[in-house]
Chains A and B, each alone.
Chain A
Amino acid sequence: MTVASLPQKTAWKAYSDWANNHRKWLFAAPAMIFVAILIIFPLAWTLYLSLTDSSGSVRAESDFIGFANYLEVLSDGDRFWPAVGRTFLFTGAALAVQMVLGMCIALLLWRPFKGEKWVRVAILLPLVATPVAVGMMWRLIFDPNIGFANQALAWFGIPAQPWLSGQSTALPTVIFIDIWQWTPMVVIILLAGLTSLSEEPDEAARIDGASAWQRFRFITVPLMMPTIIVAILLRSIDALKTFDLLYATKGRGGGSFHEVETLNIYAYGLSFDYNDYGLSSTVLILFFLIIIAAMWVLTRRRKDVQS
């Protein structure tokens, strides 16, 4: 009987129609729900924790103390502000060198040459290497007694350096390691930008007698500006949040003198070494605001460039 199968068929059809009509949200919903549960909710919780004196055990009772944590953190010149300074120094220095070096290497690789493929592979390897392993590798190379770095310095008659174990040399050394690992990322992004450039402006300037430097400065760089800013944006997001490398090379609290303690390391330590969740959440909220502010400034620049 068709009567029996008909309702079933229409039910399927109705379901299918419904799914098709609502596919926009049906498709997006699982990911959105995942994000809401695992990201939005923890973020809201962090905001709440930052207003409490939660500490000790995660299950312990805590009191709502308003903005007391914020006052404490913002007036903390021992750990918080130096950590802010180091975060910016680390990010700024690493980023500046990576951009300049990245641009130079990208320009070198721009025109085709023999063996190009191998050079590109060589550049890709640091980028995919596990940061913790990279940290350990450099720990050996920079070891003051047995490391290759001091051995190489000795060839040139330069006295041995403490590198990672020195109070003032640790931060520059981790900046160097970050540069080694992440310059390739900048190279890859800039190279993609260079290869998609149109040739005409460069050609025209060449015919007009512009020098190589002039063409680079007044033609290539302005045309590349949107790509350059994307590279800066992506790199600064990751550099601000660097954790693996710093924790692998210097351990808890960024070393015994907090030499490489950035905001991320500081917040992690507050939570998981001192179990001071309230204070840690406060640092994290402030850190998050700093990241947002940095992104906002960069996107504004990008819009200016584009218009």
Chain B
Amino acid sequence: MSVVTPKMLRPGTKNVARPSAQPRRRKPLKSRAYKVFRVVALIVIVVAFLAPLFWMLLASLKTNVDIYDAGKTLIFTPTTENYETVLGRNNYLSFVFNSFWVAFASTALSLIIGVPAAYSMSRFAMRRSALVVLMARIIPGVSLLVPWYYVFSNLSMVGGYSVLILSHMFVALPLIVYILMSYYDSMPLELEEAARVDGLTHIGAFLRVTLPLSIGGIATASILAFIFSWNNFMFALVLSGADTKTLPVAIFNFVAYASIDWGGLMAASVVVTIPIMVIALFTQKYIVSGLTAGATKG
């Protein structure tokens, strides 16, 4: 079943999570016309990607009457009413906590079992074992949900945090193994060998030398694992209970009944997106290096 071999998923040994200034091309741009075209094109791109998000933010600050008024597309009196309703209703803040706790715990647990595994799989070239872990990436999540639901409901765990955390580890673990394997592949062996010469055991060398040196890779992997877990919808849709709902499920439930409270829905959507965007702004380089892990040949 060697369809997606780890080797092909991460060819070469591109540096991961060491966002260094790579040598950039420095050709002078040719014509003035091209320069103008380029500036216009870049503006169009930025607007195309940001305008919808901006729109969501605007709508979240409007009353529902204003949302229905085409004359008040851009000019209106902003109100925080929607946010007050959303945050006041149904313990919305507890959903924020649920999302955070599930994402945090599943990322932390995945790191604990994923980092040593990635190290071992990289150093001992355990390609087949790595393939099994990475297979998690291509399996449709729905096929895991039925057996999980059966087993966990028999253990009366459905609706609890533990089952959500376990299911989100299914998202986080392959990501962490995948990113850190390519990180360890590119890390020179010499440092560990030097530590061995100085009298450390293999495990000691890993704990005291390799691990501290891979903080960059671990940060990259954790940020991405956290984001993907925070954004995950399907597992919580089935496995969460009334008290353990995560934000995406809470938003989805907004539209399940009757007419849509657009202002409230947009405010709820902003609340779920803002934390992740703030994280993204500050960790942009890590996210980029994680997403491109192993995608290019070094």
Contact in complex: B251, A136 (CB < 8 Å): yes
Task: Say whether B147 contacts A41, CB under 8 Å.
Answer: yes
- Contact partner, B147, options A46, A148, A227, A295, Cβ 8 Å: A46
Residues of B within 8 A of A272 (CB): 145, 238
**Is A27's CB under 8 angstroms from B120's CB?**
yes
Q: Is B179 close to A, CB under 8 A?
A: no
Chain B interface SS verdict (over half): helix
Q: Contact at B55–A189, with CB atoms within 8 Å?
A: no
Which residues of A have CB within 8 Å of B214? none
With A28-B121, A112-B24, A148-B73 known to touch, is A284 a contact of B49 (CB < 8 Å)?
Answer: no
B4, A119: Cβ atoms closer than 8 Å:
no
| Residue A210 CB within 8 A of the other chain | no
In the assembled complex, the CB of A128 is this many whole angstroms from the nearest CB of chain B, namely: 4
* Total interface residues in chain B, CB < 8 Å: 108
Q: Is the CB of A45 within 8 A of B147?
A: yes
A281 interface residue, CB < 8 Å from B? yes
**If A112-B24, A124-B287, A140-B262 touch, does A119 touch B46 (CB 8 Å cutoff)?**
yes
Could you tell me if A125 and B116 are in contact, using CB atoms closer than 8 angstroms?
Answer: no
With A38-B144, A110-B25 as contacts: A196 and B41 at CB distance below 8 Å: no
The A-B contact count (CB < 8 A) is: 308
Residues of B within 8 Å of A30, CB to CB, are 112-113, 116-117
B259-278 vs A, Cβ < 8 Å mask (1 yes, 0 no): 00010011011101100110
A100 within 8 A of B: no
**CB-CB < 8 A to A292: which residues of B?**
1, 3, 138
Known: A20-B201, A119-B45. A124 touches B276 (CB 8 A): no
> Is B87 part of the binding interface, using a Cβ–Cβ cutoff of 8 Å?
no
Q: Which of B75-83, B89-97, B127-135 contacts its partner?
A: B127-135
CB distance from A256 to the nearest CB of B (A): 15
Q: Is the CB of B298 within 8 A of A196?
A: yes
Is there an interface contact between B248 and A35, defined as CB atoms closer than 8 Å? no
Partner of A192, one of B117, B126, B140, B296: B296
B215 proximal to A (CB < 8 A): no
Known A-B contacts A130-B272, A284-B140; the reply to A121 vs B284 at CB < 8 A is yes
B251: chain A residues at CB < 8 Å are 130, 132-133, 136, 248
Q: Quick one: closest B residue to A297, CB to CB?
A: B3
Give which listed residue, B126, B150, B281, B297, contacts A24 with CB less than 8 A: B126
Within 8 Å of chain A (Cβ to Cβ): is B183? no
The reply to whether the CB of A68 lies closer than 8 angstroms to some CB of chain B is no
Tell me if B138 and A119 are in contact (CB < 8 A): no
Complex interface: chain B residues within 8 A of A125 (CB):
49-50, 53, 277, 280
Chain B nearest Cβ from A200, distance in angstroms: 12
**A153 close to chain B: CB less than 8 A:** no
Whether B248 and A130, one on each chain, are in contact in the complex, defined by CB atoms closer than 8 angstroms, is yes
Q: Does B295 contact A (CB under 8 A)?
A: yes
Q: Judging by beta carbons under 8 Å apart, are B296 and A196 in contact?
A: yes
Please give the distance in Å from A270's CB to the nearest CB on chain B: 9
- B interface footprint on A232-258 (CB within 8 Å = 1, 0 otherwise): 011001000101100110010000000
- Residues of B37-53 whose CB lies within 8 A of A: 38, 41-42, 45-46, 48-50, 52-53
B139 contacts chain A at the CB level, 8 A cutoff: yes
The answer to whether B276 and A241 touch across the interface, beta carbons within 8 angstroms, is no
Q: Which residues of A contact B208 (CB under 8 A)?
A: none
B141-166 at interface with A (beta carbon < 8 Å): 141-150, 153-154, 166
Q: How far is the CA of A263 from the CA of B126 in the complex (A)?
A: 33
User: What residue of chain A has the Cβ atom nearest to residue B287's Cβ?
Assistant: A124
B 51-94 binary contact with A (CB < 8 Å = 1; else 0)? 01101100100000001101001000000000000000000000
Digit string of B18-44 for contact with A (CB within 8 Å is 1, else 0)? Answer: 000010111101000000001001100
5 smallest A-B Cβ distances: which pairs? A31-B117, A27-B120, A42-B147, A27-B116, A133-B269
- A–B complex contacts, Cβ < 8 Å, 23 sampled: A23-B202, A35-B132, A38-B148, A111-B29, A112-B25, A120-B288, A121-B280, A123-B45, A124-B280, A130-B230, A130-B231, A132-B272, A140-B56, A140-B67, A146-B67, A180-B52, A189-B291, A189-B292, A189-B295, A226-B297, A230-B295, A247-B234, A271-B146
Chain A contact residues, CB within 8 Å of chain B: 16, 19-20, 23-28, 30-32, 34-35, 38-43, 45-46, 49, 58-59, 105, 108-113, 118-133, 136-141, 145-146, 148, 151, 180, 184-185, 188-189, 192-193, 195-196, 199, 226-227, 230-231, 233-234, 237, 241, 243-244, 247-248, 251, 263-264, 267-268, 271-272, 277, 280-281, 284-285, 287-288, 291-292, 295-296, 299, 302-303, 306
For the A-B complex with A128-B277, A146-B70 known, give 6 more contacts whose Cβ atoms are closer than 8 Å: A35-B133, A58-B150, A113-B38, A140-B67, A180-B49, A180-B52
